[in-house]
Each structure stands twice: as C-alpha cells, then as structure tokens.
Amino acid sequence: MSFSAAKTDLNKEVLFDSNFGLRIITLNRPEKLNALNMIMTRNIYEKLIEWKKSSLAKIILLRGINSKALSAGGDVAAIAELCRSDAENGYKMAMKYFELEYRLDYLVATYKEKPYVSLMDGITMGGGAGLSVHAPFRVATENTVFAMPETDIGFFPDAGLSFFLSRMDGEVGKYLGMTSERLYGFDTLISGIATHYVPSKRLDDLIVRLSELDTSDSSSKDYFNVVDKTIDEFSGEPPRDYKYKLGGETRNAIDRCFKHKKIENVFKALKNEGTEWANSTIGTLNKRSPTSIKVALREIQEAKKWNILQAFNNELNLTSYFLKTHDFVEGIEAKLIKKPSVKPVWNPSIISEVSDKLVDTFFKKSKKSPRLNISGDLISVQYLNYPYSYGLPRDIDLEKSITNCIANNVSADSIRDMVFDIFFKVSPNKPGLGIKLDDILFRKQLGKLSN
C-alpha cells in the first residue's frame, strides 16, 4: 500500500498521516514484522487520544507498511531478554509494557467516537490481533494470516482476546486460543475474525474512498453504517473452490471436543473422535506449554462472564503471574530468539503435572492486583458484548431464523432461500453469507445423521 507514504518520515517505526477526515496509522517496522515495542505503543495511544478529541478527524485507519504483516504482535523477544538478564527490573519493565499495550487495546475497544478500520493485510497475530479484533471494521485480504500463538511460547491469549475468543461461534474461540491454529484469508471472514474481505489490490482505492467521506457527526450510527457500506463496495469473492477450514464435520468435532471445562476431558473427547483432524489436534496440544493451555481453557471459559474492562484487567493480572514462570522465558527463547528455533523444555512438562491448584494461583486477585491505568470516560465503558456488528451474522442468529422457519412449517427446500433473503436484505454486499449458511445447514444435517 503506497497511499501517502511519501509524505512521512519512513525512518520512524510508526507513521501518522492525514487526508481530509481520514487519519492513518502505519506500522513501519518491517524487519520485525511490525512487532510493537513500547515507543510505538505509546505513540499510537497518544495519537488516538488526540484524534478522539479532534472534530477534524472522522475515521481512523490502521495498516502495515507492506502486505507481509500488519503486526506479528508485541515485541516479546525483547521482554523475555529483559526478564532473563535482570529478573526484578525486567519484570517491572515488562509489566509497564503490557499495561500500556492492554490500555491501547482497550482504547480501541471503546473508541466509540470515530469509526476505526483495521486493514489486516498480512500477518495479524498477538498484539496485532489486539489492535484489530476489537475494532468495528476488520478488513481481511488474501494475505491475512491470523493466530494467537501465545500457548506456543509459554504465555496465554491476551490483548483482550479472552473477550473476543469467548464470544466466537460455538467452541471455535477455545480451539484457536489453545492450539494457536492459524486462519488464512477468507477463513477469517467466515469465522467472524474479520468483518470484510477486500482483495489487497483494492486497498489503496478503499483508503482514498474513505478519505472522501464527510459528516458533521462521525460518532453517529448512520456514519458507521456508511463506512460499512463503503468497505462493502470494494469486497471480493472467495477463492475458486473455496472450502472453509473449520466447517462441516471439523466444526462439529471442535464443538464436541472443546465444550469441556477440563483439559483432560478435551483430550479424551479428541481421542474418541479418532479422526486425522483429532489426532493432529492432540499432537498440536502436546507441543504447547501444558500450563498455558490449561490456563487458556479456563480463561476463555470465564471470560464469557467478563465485561470488556474486566477482561483486560484480568489479563493483566494473569500476565503478572506468567512473567514469573519458567515457560514464558523458555518458550520465547526457544521459539523466537534461538536461530534456528528449538523445542521448548516446559516445566511442568505434561498436562497431568499441572494441578488445578496451580491454575488457581494464576487467577488469584487482591487489592494490589494490577489494573489498567485509565480514568474518566474510558472507565465508564464496560459492555458485555461488542456494540457493533458489521461482519457476517453469527451462527446463533442464522440458526434462530432456521428454527423459526421450521416452526412456521416452511418446507425444507425453501428454508435456505428464505433465511438467505432475510440477511441479504440487511447486508446485500457481504460475500460469504451463502457459504456460512450452507455450512450451518450441512452441519445440522450431519448432526441428525449421527443421532
């Protein structure tokens, strides 16, 4: 994406541009896949606060300097080296970094004054996901690679992803958070991670078009709807012969296996499946930090009850414990610092050694537990569900319409068309609606056949 880049100082790690009412944040650390360090995070936070108060700023747009990565996450390698070289001071500096990162993500999640658009063109992981998934507009491209890789490095799904993952369809959020599984391109739209899908070659034109939008009230719902429809105008269709990675019987198996509250029962359910997918998932989980996956399972379960502020505060509390574990430094050194990467030596090394009592310690809170350093109007925003919904309809909404059709004696041959028409009228230019609806109907039929 080349739009307005020539106007900026390309030596800076984060660039800020303006074009009419559009305000653009460009992550410019390509050699580190735009990993977010303390300076970048602070600069973005301060600029968002400034734009929040500006009557001239109408839309905020986040992008990476190229299509390889929006952001691979926070600069955890630097944090791990701090913790290893000077445990006490390293811990303090790490906590300062994570508090600032989570405060920035919380600001994005509560940025109701302006439409915020994240162009997830390329790798969007960890902290990069935190800057994106809480936004009302999340644009995927054919280059998008989404993952929360934390359990693979001895950490846990953070940056507010406890809130996001716990509200995904079925048990998909648990599956993604525990396995660190990657989703690509159009899959991120069908899964609900992205709200829109735009081919990367159209992004520059989209940016120009967004800069041309004007309004006297950028916080109004009507203006948000205009932004939604504008992005839809640039939408692309799925790849030829596209098949959703987590659809069909795989999705049914995810829901069956990851519905359990105890990790031991998750493994038992996977073994009972006996499929190639299930065996592969067992192998993946066995490579992850046993502590991380057990904490992640409980975190995502409990997050269903957390409001958005509680989610970030509870994650900061979890971070305060994880930074002192063996697995945090071990995982990052083995996976990210050593070249080539090596297999981490986890401690505890197997699931059975991670007791419920040990997991309980990560969730202990007191009056001294760390909290986000926020005040004023920011602290008053404590929603239980995201206030905007511009992506494809959730499974629960499509299933409700299907159930209503059945209750009204709509013929089986007509249900698909009737439900499709209901949602198509709301969002006529959303690609993927038919794919998602067909997958739900297919899975329902599979469920009937297995009973």
CA distances 439 to 100, 377, 442, Å, are 40, 42, 5
Q: How far apart are CA 115 and CA 196, in angstroms?
A: 14
Contact (Cβ atoms closer than 8 angstroms) between residue 151 and residue 178 = yes
**Catalytic residue flag (residue 432):** no
Contact (Cβ atoms closer than 8 angstroms) between residue 1 and residue 204 = yes
Which is more confident, 283 or 422?
283
Q: How far apart are CA 130 and CA 104, in angstroms?
A: 9
**Catalytic residue flag (residue 121):** no
Q: Tokens representing 228?
A: 């939604």
User: How many helices (H) does the chain have, and how many strands (E)?
Assistant: 19, 10
Please tell me the predicted confidence (pLDDT) of residue 448.
Answer: 55
Dihedrals phi, psi of 289, to nearest 5 degrees: -60, 120
Contact (Cβ atoms closer than 8 angstroms) between residue 318 and residue 382 = no
Looking at 3.40.50.720, 3.90.226.10, 3.40.228.10, 3.10.20.600, the CATH number of the domain 5-378 comes to 3.90.226.10
Q: How many CA atoms lie within 13 A of 377 on its CB side?
A: 8
Dihedrals phi, psi of 59, to nearest 5 degrees: -135, 140
* Length of the chain measured in residues: 451
Number of neighbouring beta carbons within 10 Å of residue 15: 20
Condensed to tens digits (0 to 9), the pLDDT of residues 389-440 reads 999 999 999 999 999 998 988 888 899 999 999 998 887 878 999 999 999 9
The DSSP result for 404-439, as a single string, is HHHHTT--HHHHHHHHHHHHHHH-TT-TTHHHHHHH
Condensed to tens digits (0 to 9), the pLDDT of residues 136-175 reads 999 999 999 999 999 999 999 999 999 999 999 999 999 9
**Catalytic residue flag (residue 204):** no
Which of 38-47, 209-218, 221-230, 369-378 has the weakest average pLDDT?
Answer: 209-218
Please tell me the predicted confidence (pLDDT) of residue 6.
Answer: 40
Q: Which of 64, 74, 90, 331 is catalytic?
A: 74
Q: Which of 158, 228, 327, 330 is catalytic?
A: 158
Contact (Cβ atoms closer than 8 angstroms) between residue 348 and residue 293 = no
DSSP structure class, residue 66: B
298: nearest Cα among 346, 263, 349: 263
Q: Which of 21, 90, 127, 160 is catalytic?
A: 127
Q: Please give the radius of gyration of the chain, using alpha carbons only, rounded to the nearest integer.
A: 22
Cα(first)–Cα(last) distance of the chain, in Å? 51
* pLDDT mean over 257-266: 97
Amino acid at position 385, single letter: N
39: nearest Cα among 108, 104, 116: 104
The DSSP result for 309-353, as a single string, is HHHHHHHHHHHHHHTTSHHHHHHHIIIIISSS------SS-SGGG
Element (H or E) spanning 15, and its range? strand 14-19
* pLDDT mean over 323-343: 94
Contact (Cβ atoms closer than 8 angstroms) between residue 190 and residue 392 = yes
Please tell me the predicted confidence (pLDDT) of residue 34.
Answer: 97
Number of neighbouring beta carbons within 10 Å of residue 236: 18
Q: Residue-wise over 387-423: b if at least 16 C-beta within 10 A, else e?
A: ebebbbbbbeebbebbeebeeeebeeeebbeebbeeb
Q: How far apart are CA 145 and CA 210, in angstroms?
A: 24
Q: Residue-wise over 247-273: b if at least 16 C-beta within 10 A, else e?
A: beebbbbbbbbbebeebeebbebbeeb
Mean pLDDT of the chain: 93
Contacts of 203 (CB under 8 A, 6+ apart): 1, 63, 119, 121, 139, 141, 234
Residue in the block written with tokens 């074009």:
19
Q: What is the pTM of this model?
A: 0.94
**CATH 3.90.226.10 residue ranges for the chain:** 5-378
Q: Which of 13, 99, 150, 327 is catalytic?
A: 150
CA distances 150 to 116, 153, 177, 179, 413, Å, are 26, 5, 8, 9, 45
Which of 91-105, 189-203, 426-440 has the weakest average pLDDT?
Answer: 426-440
Q: How far apart are CA 109 and CA 428, in angstroms?
A: 27
* pLDDT mean over 336-340: 92
Its sign, for the CA torsion 160, 235, 171, 182, is negative
Q: How far apart are CA 347 and CA 287, in angstroms?
A: 13
Contact (Cβ atoms closer than 8 angstroms) between residue 75 and residue 19 = no
Please tell me the predicted confidence (pLDDT) of residue 212.
Answer: 94
Q: What percent of the chain has pLDDT over 90?
A: 82
